[in-house]
A and B are shown apart, each in its own frame.
Chain A
Amino acid sequence: MHLAYPAVLAALLFSVGLYGVLARRNAILVLMSVELMLNAVNLNLVAFDVWLRDTLHAGQALTLFTIAIAAAEIGIGLAIVLMVYRNRGTSDVDRLRDTSETDDETPTADGTPSADEKAEATA
Protein backbone atom coordinates (compact mmCIF):
# COMPACT_ATOMS: atom_id res chain seq x y z
CA MET A 1 0.00 0.00 0.00
CA HIS A 2 1.17 3.47 -0.81
CA LEU A 3 2.38 5.21 2.33
CA ALA A 4 0.75 8.46 1.24
CA TYR A 5 -2.76 7.13 1.93
CA PRO A 6 -2.46 6.79 5.72
CA ALA A 7 -0.17 9.81 6.00
CA VAL A 8 -2.59 12.09 4.13
CA LEU A 9 -5.56 10.72 6.05
CA ALA A 10 -3.76 11.38 9.33
CA ALA A 11 -2.88 14.91 8.25
CA LEU A 12 -6.47 15.66 7.27
CA LEU A 13 -7.86 14.18 10.49
CA PHE A 14 -5.40 16.27 12.48
CA SER A 15 -6.57 19.40 10.67
CA VAL A 16 -10.21 18.55 11.30
CA GLY A 17 -9.42 18.12 14.99
CA LEU A 18 -7.52 21.41 14.97
CA TYR A 19 -10.54 23.17 13.52
CA GLY A 20 -12.75 21.62 16.17
CA VAL A 21 -10.48 22.67 19.01
CA LEU A 22 -10.36 26.24 17.77
CA ALA A 23 -13.97 26.65 16.70
CA ARG A 24 -16.01 24.80 19.28
CA ARG A 25 -17.43 26.52 22.30
CA ASN A 26 -18.55 23.64 24.50
CA ALA A 27 -15.63 22.21 26.43
CA ILE A 28 -16.72 18.61 25.85
CA LEU A 29 -16.77 19.15 22.09
CA VAL A 30 -13.24 20.52 22.40
CA LEU A 31 -12.27 17.29 24.15
CA MET A 32 -13.79 15.30 21.27
CA SER A 33 -11.68 17.26 18.80
CA VAL A 34 -8.59 16.56 20.88
CA GLU A 35 -9.43 12.87 20.60
CA LEU A 36 -9.53 13.22 16.82
CA MET A 37 -6.07 14.79 16.83
CA LEU A 38 -4.68 12.03 19.04
CA ASN A 39 -6.15 9.44 16.71
CA ALA A 40 -4.49 11.06 13.73
CA VAL A 41 -1.16 10.70 15.52
CA ASN A 42 -1.95 7.05 16.28
CA LEU A 43 -2.66 6.33 12.63
CA ASN A 44 0.68 7.85 11.69
CA LEU A 45 2.48 5.77 14.29
CA VAL A 46 0.90 2.53 13.12
CA ALA A 47 1.47 3.26 9.43
CA PHE A 48 5.13 4.12 9.89
CA ASP A 49 5.66 1.14 12.16
CA VAL A 50 4.29 -1.19 9.51
CA TRP A 51 6.29 0.57 6.81
CA LEU A 52 9.62 0.45 8.66
CA ARG A 53 9.11 -3.14 9.92
CA ASP A 54 10.61 -2.10 13.21
CA THR A 55 11.85 -5.06 15.21
CA LEU A 56 10.92 -3.36 18.47
CA HIS A 57 7.55 -2.30 17.04
CA ALA A 58 8.01 1.06 18.68
CA GLY A 59 5.14 2.56 16.72
CA GLN A 60 2.59 0.05 17.93
CA ALA A 61 3.82 0.16 21.52
CA LEU A 62 3.67 3.95 21.49
CA THR A 63 0.19 3.78 19.97
CA LEU A 64 -0.97 1.67 22.89
CA PHE A 65 0.63 4.13 25.29
CA THR A 66 -1.04 7.04 23.52
CA ILE A 67 -4.42 5.34 23.80
CA ALA A 68 -3.88 4.84 27.53
CA ILE A 69 -2.80 8.45 27.98
CA ALA A 70 -5.84 9.59 26.00
CA ALA A 71 -8.06 7.62 28.35
CA ALA A 72 -6.40 9.27 31.36
CA GLU A 73 -6.70 12.66 29.68
CA ILE A 74 -10.39 12.26 28.98
CA GLY A 75 -11.02 11.23 32.58
CA ILE A 76 -9.20 14.20 34.06
CA GLY A 77 -10.60 16.57 31.44
CA LEU A 78 -14.17 15.53 32.09
CA ALA A 79 -13.66 15.83 35.83
CA ILE A 80 -12.37 19.38 35.34
CA VAL A 81 -15.22 20.26 32.98
CA LEU A 82 -17.79 18.91 35.42
CA MET A 83 -16.22 20.87 38.26
CA VAL A 84 -16.26 24.05 36.20
CA TYR A 85 -19.86 23.40 35.27
CA ARG A 86 -20.79 22.89 38.89
CA ASN A 87 -19.07 26.09 39.94
CA ARG A 88 -19.97 28.35 37.04
CA GLY A 89 -23.13 26.88 35.58
CA THR A 90 -21.62 26.74 32.12
CA SER A 91 -19.04 24.72 30.25
CA ASP A 92 -18.49 27.18 27.40
CA VAL A 93 -14.81 27.84 27.07
CA ASP A 94 -15.20 31.43 25.89
CA ARG A 95 -17.20 32.43 28.95
CA LEU A 96 -14.37 31.48 31.30
CA ARG A 97 -12.33 34.61 30.98
CA ASP A 98 -11.31 35.34 34.54
CA THR A 99 -7.67 35.49 33.55
CA SER A 100 -8.15 37.43 30.33
CA GLU A 101 -5.92 40.42 29.87
CA THR A 102 -8.52 43.06 29.11
CA ASP A 103 -8.94 45.64 31.82
CA ASP A 104 -12.66 46.21 31.51
CA GLU A 105 -14.76 43.66 33.28
CA THR A 106 -17.79 44.29 31.07
CA PRO A 107 -19.17 41.04 29.83
CA THR A 108 -20.02 40.45 26.21
CA ALA A 109 -23.49 40.80 24.87
CA ASP A 110 -24.61 37.31 25.73
CA GLY A 111 -22.79 36.93 29.01
CA THR A 112 -24.01 37.03 32.50
CA PRO A 113 -22.14 39.55 34.64
CA SER A 114 -18.75 38.19 35.50
CA ALA A 115 -18.97 39.42 39.05
CA ASP A 116 -21.84 37.03 39.66
CA GLU A 117 -19.89 34.16 38.25
CA LYS A 118 -16.95 34.96 40.47
CA ALA A 119 -19.17 35.20 43.51
CA GLU A 120 -20.73 31.92 42.54
CA ALA A 121 -17.35 30.36 42.08
CA THR A 122 -16.04 31.45 45.41
CA ALA A 123 -19.21 30.67 47.28
Chain B
Amino acid sequence: MSLAAQAAGHGFLSPTGVEIAFLLVGLVTLGAALVTVTTRQLVHAALWLVVALGGLAVEYLLLTAEFIAWVQVLIYVGSVVVLLLFGLMLTKAPIGRSPDADSGNRPVALAVALAAAAALVWVVVDAFRTTWIDLDGPAQGSTRVSGEILFRHWVLPFEALSVLLLAALVGAIVLSRKKNGEEG
Protein backbone atom coordinates (compact mmCIF):
# COMPACT_ATOMS: atom_id res chain seq x y z
CA MET B 1 0.00 0.00 0.00
CA SER B 2 2.58 2.45 1.14
CA LEU B 3 4.92 1.89 -1.77
CA ALA B 4 2.30 2.56 -4.39
CA ALA B 5 0.84 5.47 -2.46
CA GLN B 6 4.21 7.06 -1.96
CA ALA B 7 5.16 6.47 -5.55
CA ALA B 8 1.93 8.10 -6.65
CA GLY B 9 2.45 10.95 -4.23
CA HIS B 10 6.00 11.72 -5.21
CA GLY B 11 6.44 10.18 -8.61
CA PHE B 12 9.43 8.22 -9.76
CA LEU B 13 9.52 9.85 -13.15
CA SER B 14 8.58 13.40 -12.35
CA PRO B 15 11.44 14.86 -10.36
CA THR B 16 10.93 18.11 -8.55
CA GLY B 17 13.00 21.18 -9.20
CA VAL B 18 15.14 20.58 -6.14
CA GLU B 19 15.89 17.08 -7.35
CA ILE B 20 16.91 18.33 -10.78
CA ALA B 21 19.15 20.97 -9.24
CA PHE B 22 20.64 18.38 -6.88
CA LEU B 23 21.28 16.05 -9.79
CA LEU B 24 22.99 18.69 -11.92
CA VAL B 25 25.18 19.98 -9.10
CA GLY B 26 25.92 16.39 -8.15
CA LEU B 27 27.11 15.63 -11.67
CA VAL B 28 29.40 18.66 -11.59
CA THR B 29 30.70 17.63 -8.17
CA LEU B 30 31.33 14.07 -9.25
CA GLY B 31 33.05 15.17 -12.44
CA ALA B 32 35.29 17.55 -10.52
CA ALA B 33 36.13 14.79 -8.05
CA LEU B 34 37.01 12.46 -10.91
CA VAL B 35 39.29 15.06 -12.47
CA THR B 36 40.85 15.62 -9.04
CA VAL B 37 41.91 12.02 -8.71
CA THR B 38 42.92 11.49 -12.33
CA THR B 39 44.61 14.67 -13.53
CA ARG B 40 48.36 14.63 -13.92
CA GLN B 41 48.84 18.29 -13.05
CA LEU B 42 49.12 18.45 -9.30
CA VAL B 43 48.05 22.06 -8.86
CA HIS B 44 45.03 21.49 -11.09
CA ALA B 45 44.01 18.64 -8.81
CA ALA B 46 43.82 21.07 -5.89
CA LEU B 47 41.84 23.57 -7.95
CA TRP B 48 39.36 20.93 -9.10
CA LEU B 49 39.03 19.90 -5.48
CA VAL B 50 37.74 23.43 -4.86
CA VAL B 51 35.01 22.82 -7.43
CA ALA B 52 34.07 19.51 -5.85
CA LEU B 53 33.92 20.93 -2.33
CA GLY B 54 31.99 24.00 -3.48
CA GLY B 55 29.51 21.75 -5.25
CA LEU B 56 29.05 19.84 -2.02
CA ALA B 57 28.35 23.12 -0.26
CA VAL B 58 25.59 23.78 -2.77
CA GLU B 59 24.22 20.30 -2.08
CA TYR B 60 24.09 21.12 1.62
CA LEU B 61 22.18 24.27 0.80
CA LEU B 62 19.71 22.25 -1.27
CA LEU B 63 19.29 19.93 1.71
CA THR B 64 18.47 23.03 3.81
CA ALA B 65 21.61 22.60 5.92
CA GLU B 66 22.58 26.22 5.63
CA PHE B 67 25.13 26.53 8.42
CA ILE B 68 27.00 23.41 7.32
CA ALA B 69 27.21 24.80 3.80
CA TRP B 70 28.92 27.98 4.95
CA VAL B 71 31.20 26.07 7.31
CA GLN B 72 32.11 23.88 4.35
CA VAL B 73 32.98 26.91 2.28
CA LEU B 74 34.95 28.52 5.09
CA ILE B 75 36.90 25.50 6.32
CA TYR B 76 37.35 23.40 3.22
CA VAL B 77 37.54 25.85 0.38
CA GLY B 78 39.05 28.54 2.55
CA SER B 79 41.68 26.75 4.56
CA VAL B 80 42.10 23.10 3.67
CA VAL B 81 42.67 23.71 -0.02
CA VAL B 82 45.01 26.59 0.74
CA LEU B 83 46.95 24.30 3.08
CA LEU B 84 47.10 21.66 0.37
CA LEU B 85 48.37 24.21 -2.16
CA PHE B 86 51.01 25.34 0.31
CA GLY B 87 51.98 21.72 0.81
CA LEU B 88 52.28 21.20 -2.94
CA MET B 89 54.49 24.25 -3.26
CA LEU B 90 56.66 23.41 -0.25
CA THR B 91 57.34 19.92 -1.61
CA LYS B 92 58.35 21.50 -4.92
CA ALA B 93 55.60 19.88 -6.91
CA PRO B 94 56.07 20.33 -10.62
CA ILE B 95 53.80 22.95 -12.11
CA GLY B 96 53.39 21.24 -15.45
CA ARG B 97 52.17 17.78 -16.10
CA SER B 98 53.98 15.12 -14.12
CA PRO B 99 53.87 11.67 -15.66
CA ASP B 100 54.40 9.80 -12.41
CA ALA B 101 51.41 11.14 -10.52
CA ASP B 102 49.83 7.69 -10.50
CA SER B 103 51.54 4.71 -8.99
CA GLY B 104 51.81 1.28 -10.52
CA ASN B 105 48.78 -0.24 -8.83
CA ARG B 106 46.33 1.85 -10.81
CA PRO B 107 44.40 -1.08 -12.38
CA VAL B 108 43.97 -2.69 -8.98
CA ALA B 109 42.80 0.62 -7.53
CA LEU B 110 40.33 1.02 -10.39
CA ALA B 111 38.99 -2.48 -9.83
CA VAL B 112 38.61 -1.95 -6.09
CA ALA B 113 36.93 1.43 -6.55
CA LEU B 114 34.52 0.08 -9.18
CA ALA B 115 33.63 -2.88 -7.00
CA ALA B 116 33.05 -0.61 -4.02
CA ALA B 117 30.95 1.78 -6.09
CA ALA B 118 28.84 -1.02 -7.55
CA ALA B 119 28.23 -2.64 -4.18
CA LEU B 120 27.47 0.61 -2.37
CA VAL B 121 25.18 1.99 -5.05
CA TRP B 122 23.34 -1.29 -5.34
CA VAL B 123 22.79 -1.59 -1.60
CA VAL B 124 21.85 2.07 -1.17
CA VAL B 125 19.39 2.14 -4.06
CA ASP B 126 17.86 -1.13 -2.95
CA ALA B 127 17.48 0.10 0.61
CA PHE B 128 16.19 3.62 0.01
CA ARG B 129 14.08 3.15 -3.10
CA THR B 130 10.92 4.29 -1.40
CA THR B 131 12.07 6.96 1.00
CA TRP B 132 11.67 10.64 0.42
CA ILE B 133 13.13 13.57 2.26
CA ASP B 134 10.53 16.08 3.26
CA LEU B 135 12.16 19.41 2.62
CA ASP B 136 9.10 21.50 3.38
CA GLY B 137 8.61 23.45 6.54
CA PRO B 138 11.23 25.45 8.40
CA ALA B 139 14.82 24.91 7.42
CA GLN B 140 16.33 22.24 9.60
CA GLY B 141 19.88 23.42 9.42
CA SER B 142 19.61 27.16 9.80
CA THR B 143 22.24 28.88 11.83
CA ARG B 144 19.85 29.45 14.70
CA VAL B 145 18.89 25.78 14.94
CA SER B 146 22.47 24.60 14.57
CA GLY B 147 23.72 26.95 17.26
CA GLU B 148 21.01 26.00 19.70
CA ILE B 149 21.57 22.29 19.14
CA LEU B 150 25.32 22.57 19.31
CA PHE B 151 25.47 24.54 22.52
CA ARG B 152 22.54 22.91 24.24
CA HIS B 153 23.09 19.23 23.58
CA TRP B 154 26.58 18.85 22.15
CA VAL B 155 28.65 21.07 24.41
CA LEU B 156 30.92 18.39 25.81
CA PRO B 157 31.94 16.90 22.44
CA PHE B 158 32.40 20.44 21.18
CA GLU B 159 34.82 21.25 23.97
CA ALA B 160 36.63 17.96 23.58
CA LEU B 161 37.01 18.75 19.92
CA SER B 162 38.54 22.11 20.69
CA VAL B 163 41.11 20.35 22.86
CA LEU B 164 41.79 17.98 19.97
CA LEU B 165 42.28 20.90 17.61
CA LEU B 166 44.70 22.49 20.05
CA ALA B 167 46.63 19.22 20.32
CA ALA B 168 46.74 18.94 16.54
CA LEU B 169 48.00 22.51 16.26
CA VAL B 170 50.76 21.90 18.81
CA GLY B 171 51.62 18.61 17.12
CA ALA B 172 51.91 20.23 13.72
CA ILE B 173 54.17 22.94 15.10
CA VAL B 174 56.37 20.39 16.87
CA LEU B 175 56.58 18.24 13.75
CA SER B 176 57.50 21.05 11.44
CA ARG B 177 60.10 22.71 13.66
CA LYS B 178 63.64 22.39 12.50
CA LYS B 179 65.69 20.63 15.11
CA ASN B 180 68.39 23.23 15.45
CA GLY B 181 68.77 22.91 19.17
CA GLU B 182 69.76 19.27 19.05
CA GLU B 183 72.45 19.52 16.48
CA GLY B 184 73.99 22.74 17.56
Contacts from A to B (Cβ < 8 Å): 1-9, 11-20, 22-26, 28-29, 31-33, 35-36, 39, 42-43, 46-47, 49-51, 53, 56-57, 60-61, 63-65, 67-76, 78-83, 85, 91-94, 110
Contact = CB atoms under 8 A, between A and B. Distances in A.
Contacts, number: 258
Contact of B76 (A35, A53, A69): A35
Contact of B121 (A12, A75, A76, A91): A12
B175 A22 contact: no
Contacts of A36: 33, 36-37, 49, 52
Given A32-B46, A72-B164, A25 B121 contact: no
Given A42-B68, A81-B87, 8 more contacts: A11-B121, A15-B116, A16-B30, A16-B36, A35-B53, A57-B141, A69-B161, A70-B75
Interface residues of B, number: 88
Contacts of B16: 1
B22 A5 contact: yes
Contact of A13 (B30, B65, B75, B135): B30
